[in-house]
Amino acid sequence: EPEVTQTPSHQVTQMGQEVILHCVPISNHLYFYWYRQILGQKVEFLVSFYNNEISEKSEIFDDQFSVERPDGSNFTLKIRSTKLEDSAMYFCASSLTVQETQYFGPGTRLLVL
């Protein structure tokens, strides 16, 4: 069964450094999403992406964040200058249409020191 994959599974970085989180959505899906979950807190929507542009974003997704689909298979989340509070599990998801079920990847655990 097709699945969403994410790399790396764990990432440790120093405050102020740039990180790029990688996702490979399900191949025929058209909508892509990033979510985050701070330890012990709710899963939070960050951004959705369709047709090579951001379709919606939350208040969390400020200028420090960017997303890109550099080729036909990858979907990346970049954090330009990481802060301690960016430490969280980051989930990528994809869906065939905007109405249908979103399929989530296993997540990347980011720790900012």
99 lies in the binding site for another protein (CB under 8 A):
yes
CB of 33 vs another protein, minimal distance in Å: 8
Answer positive or negative: Cα dihedral of 53, 59, 62, 68.
negative
Q: How far apart are CA 32 and CA 13, in angstroms?
A: 25
CB of 9 vs another protein, minimal distance in Å: 9
94 lies in the binding site for another protein (CB under 8 A):
no
105 lies in the binding site for another protein (CB under 8 A):
yes
56 lies in the binding site for another protein (CB under 8 A):
yes
14 lies in the binding site for another protein (CB under 8 A):
no
CB of 49 vs another protein, minimal distance in Å: 10
Give the CA radius of gyration of the chain: 13
22 lies in the binding site for another protein (CB under 8 A):
no
Beta carbons within 8 Å of 83's beta carbon, 6+ residues apart: 15, 64, 112
100 lies in the binding site for another protein (CB under 8 A):
yes
Q: Which two tokens stand for residue 68?
A: 């890109």
Q: How far apart are CA 61 and CA 28, in angstroms?
A: 26
SS3 content of the chain, % helix, strand, coil (to 5): 5, 50, 45
Provide the binding-site residues for another protein, judged by CB under 8 A: 4, 33, 41-45, 48, 55-56, 58, 91, 93, 98-107, 109
